[in-house]
Structure 1
Amino acid sequence: MMERTQKLNQGSPPAVSTKLLAGGIAGASETIITYPFELLKTKRQLPENGISSRPSSFSLLRSTISTQGLPGLYAGCTALASSNALKSSIRFFAFSSSKEWLNTFGTFNATTATLLSGITAGIAESVLVVTPAEALKTRMIEAGKARTGTGDSGMAGTIRQILKNEGAGAFWRGTAPVVGKQAMNSAVRFTTFEILEGEVARRWPEFAGRVSTTLAIGALSGIATVYASMPFDSIKTRLQSARTEYNGMVDCAAKIAEREGICAFWRGTTPRLMRLMLSSGITFTVYAQVVQFVSSDSRNIMRV
């Protein structure tokens, strides 16, 4: 996908502004479509849904709709949609830039360069965007705040409350597992996507580059991403809860394993799996289409 979009502009890589724009549109698009899955996943991971009460995703879906209506499925969406637009911009920019830089050395094969670039992208997006945005989203979901037209004021109110009661540092609580999760996410997602894309181009060239193919490959890369990074995601949610009782990532992991068993690290996998299968396909497809559109439009302007 990255190589294909880079060839669109007469062999040169997309401009920085194109990467940022395409990434932002891709991130916002997938969030709006898939957010209810994210909400259900987070609710299942919160401490209150621990040992004594483990409602299924379907039960949480029914109770959320019955008590808060359909808008309840988008509690905290404003925070995540805003951050995902920025996160996706940083992810694609950091990934493509890192890979271009690594390729100048000529010492890394394609898979290794993709893996290292994915890790770089994950670390960059974690520290700059994901950790504070995930903390804000978790608090808004935890408080059960259903948002409609007042989403911005709800987000602003939650920010003020966190700053007043806990200080700015609370937004970066859980940075370590977020970095682990996002580095794993990007490394596995980009590497799996490019391997599958290469296989399709080699075995079934007539299907390469199609929107439907990109969606399917993106969905498959999402499956691998979920299972590889789920433990980091579970620990992150616990640490960012307002009722956290843990002293860091290692303490949290040890207590979850001791009290709830190893399987607790994969609690909420089903809604996250559904979300990432959709979001991976949507993100890669929208990114590629926006890059193609902008690059084609730029060439048309130059001809005029």
Structure 2
Amino acid sequence: MSAKSVKGEGGKKPATAAVNLIAGGGAGMMEALVCHPLDTIKVRMQLSTRARAPGTKKRGFYQTGKEIVKRETAFGLYKGLGAVLSGIVPKMAIRFTSYEWYKQALADKNGVVTSKATFFAGLGAGVTEAVAVVTPMEVVKIRMQAQYHSLSDPLDVPKYRSAPHAALTVIKEEGFGALYRGVSLTALRQGTNQAVNFTAYTEFKSILQKAQPQYDNKNLPAYQTTLIGLVSGAMGPFSNAPIDTIKTRLQKTPAEPGQSAITRIVNITNAMFKQEGPRAFYKGITPRVMRVAPGQAVTFTVYEFLKKKLEDSSLPFTGGKYEE
């Protein structure tokens, strides 16, 4: 399909919600399985306070990962994966479905979508997924990833034994609202991420389609989709790394009684700046880029592949009819 049109490949109608659900869910699941260890390392680096101790050398990406494997076995890198997998299908379904909906709403009468419209469609999709799925999923994920316990020692019983147990424990001890701690920062992060991500991906795809007339109004080869997904995916983290770091610390710990979210955000920001310096806001940027960039490469490649397969099939929920 054309990068800047709401019509499907060869003039077909846009993909149905069911197609976006299945293709997006499959893409998200593959992304999580491949990239989750990098996310765990990123979270541990963001939560690290080693820089506060005088003379203590901070751990880098490799050392952090090595320490996790040494103390908690390789399975420690997959802590919180259950929370991610349980939310990945609705997350990706909401992301791609809402993005396509916003894109169609912002398209002109000829079905053409401008770069500005693409940006706002991505922004809307990111905020939508943050409120609907991502925030509670990340609260649970971060609580589990932050646990320093050995998976090889049966006597070392963690506070949160699984994603459902973590969610229930948080609700029981802190109330249901605790699952939405940091929702404003998460929405800001997801919104900017997807705005940049979809805009860059669409622009790169459009350039490649124009340079290769044989792919005009058709999907690009998988390797090209992977490449532009990788590049576009790397852009978001650099634009909002401080937001992500503050959000991670906010979601890790319970709120103090009577303390508002804004107060906590300000306190966390001030403490980080005074005790760890401005570089602390970019803690975990290396594993985050290494997590998000290939993650988006996997997501776009698998999504485009599954979407085309579904649209070419004769399944009743795929739509796939040509416009009159």
What TM-score results when the alignment is normalised by the length of structure 2? Answer: 0.84
Aligned to 1:294: 310
Q: In 1, distance between residues paired with 2:59 and 2:227?
A: 31
Residue 184 in structure 1 maps to residue 200 in structure 2: no
Deviation at 1:194, TM superposition (A): 0.7
Structure showing the higher helix proportion among its residues = 1
Q: In 1, distance between residues paired with 2:21 and 2:50?
A: 38
Deviation at 1:146, TM superposition (A): 6.7
- CA change 1:162–1:288 in 2 (3 A) is same
| Conserved 8 A contact 1:71-1:146 | no
Residue 17 in structure 1 maps to residue 1 in structure 2: no
Q: In 2, distance between residues paired with 1:105 and 1:250?
A: 45
Say which of 147, 163, 176 aligns to 1:168.
Answer: 176
Task: Indicate the SS of the match to 1:29.
Answer: helix
- CA change 1:299–1:83 in 2 (3 A) is closer
Q: In 2, distance between residues paired with 1:116 and 1:215?
A: 23
Q: In 2, distance between residues paired with 1:90 and 1:302?
A: 19
- CA change 1:226–1:58 in 2 (3 A) is same
Deviation at 1:61, TM superposition (A): 1.1
| Conserved 8 A contact 1:5-1:291 | no
Deviation at 1:39, TM superposition (A): 0.2
1:1-304 to 2 correspondences below 5 Å:
3=3, 6-8=7-9, 10-46=11-47, 48-49=49-50, 51-52=52-53, 54-104=58-108, 110-144=114-148, 154-205=162-213, 209-242=220-253, 247-298=263-314
What TM-score results when the alignment is normalised by the length of structure 1? Answer: 0.89
CA deviation string 1:34-74 (max 9, x = no partner): 00000000001115455236311111111111122111110
Q: Determine what percentage of the aligned residue pairs are the same residue.
A: 28
Q: Which amino acid aligns with 1:114?
A: T
Deviates more, 1:190-199 or 1:7-16: 7-16
Deviation at 1:165, TM superposition (A): 1.5
Q: In 2, distance between residues paired with 1:213 and 1:107?
A: 25
Deviation at 1:104, TM superposition (A): 4.6
Q: Which amino acid aligns with 2:228?
A: I
| Conserved 8 A contact 1:75-1:146 | no
CA RMSD, Structure 1 to Structure 2 (Å)? 2.9
| Conserved 8 A contact 1:24-1:89 | yes
Q: In 1, distance between residues paired with 2:150 and 2:139?
A: 17
Q: In 1, distance between residues paired with 2:202 and 2:80?
A: 32
Q: In 2, distance between residues paired with 1:271 and 1:93?
A: 28
- CA change 1:250–1:114 in 2 (3 A) is farther
| Conserved 8 A contact 1:174-1:248 | no
| Conserved 8 A contact 1:27-1:89 | no
| Conserved 8 A contact 1:239-1:252 | yes
Deviation at 1:23, TM superposition (A): 1.0
The number of equivalent residue pairs is 300
Runs of 5+ unmatched residues, structure 2: 153-159
Larger radius of gyration: 2
Q: In 1, distance between residues paired with 2:227 and 2:239?
A: 19
Q: Which amino acid aligns with 1:255?
A: A
| Conserved 8 A contact 1:37-1:275 | yes
Deviation at 1:250, TM superposition (A): 3.5
- CA change 1:201–1:67 in 2 (3 A) is same
Task: Indicate the SS of the match to 1:191.
Answer: helix
| Conserved 8 A contact 2:25-2:93 | yes
Runs of 5+ unmatched residues, structure 1: none
